[in-house]
Amino acid sequence: MPEFGPDAPTGYLLVAALLFATGVFAAISRRNAIGVLIGIELMLNAAALQFAAYGRFAKSAADPQGQTAAVFVIVVAAAEAAVALALLFAVYRRTRDIDLEQNRELRS
């Protein structure tokens, strides 16, 4: 039986898996671009949590590479959110709608 608690990685990895599954569901099921963006952010946060958990519970010693990778994922997620929101604002100004089904094709 897997161990749970603050000194075992099982709980952290289960939360990360649940967070990732929620993000996949949100990204697939939403028609709104903001909902898809939130789903992608949830998936990136799950990856950061797994990196941090694996870095914390490394066999040899506390491995700083896990935390470094988690910080890198957070920085990439912030940059992705900034670019995606800028694109959404541009699309909204042009079409007055952010529904992904209606904005499938880019027209000039």
Secondary structure E strands in 1-108: none
What are the tens digits of pLDDT across the range 69-98? Answer: 888 888 988 898 888 888 778 777 777 766
How many angstroms separate the first and last alpha carbons of the chain? Answer: 59
What are the tens digits of pLDDT across the range 40-69? Answer: 899 999 999 988 888 887 777 666 787 888
Report pLDDT for 67: 81
Report pLDDT for 84: 83
pLDDT band at 16 (very low <50, low <70, confident <90, very high): very high
Say which residue the tokens 């699309």 belong to. Answer: 91
Report pLDDT for 3: 72
Every domain of the chain and the residues it spans:
9-95
Give yes or no for a contact between 55 and 65, defined as CB atoms under 8 angstroms apart.
yes
pTM over 0.85: no
Say which residue the tokens 């066999």 belong to. Answer: 59
Distance CA 53, CA 63 (A): 10
With respect to CATH, is domain 9-95 assigned 3.30.70.1520? no
Give yes or no for a contact between 67 and 51, defined as CB atoms under 8 angstroms apart.
yes
* Dihedral sign computed on CA atoms, order 17, 13, 56, 59: negative
Angle formed by the axes of helices 9-29 and 33-56, to 10°? 160
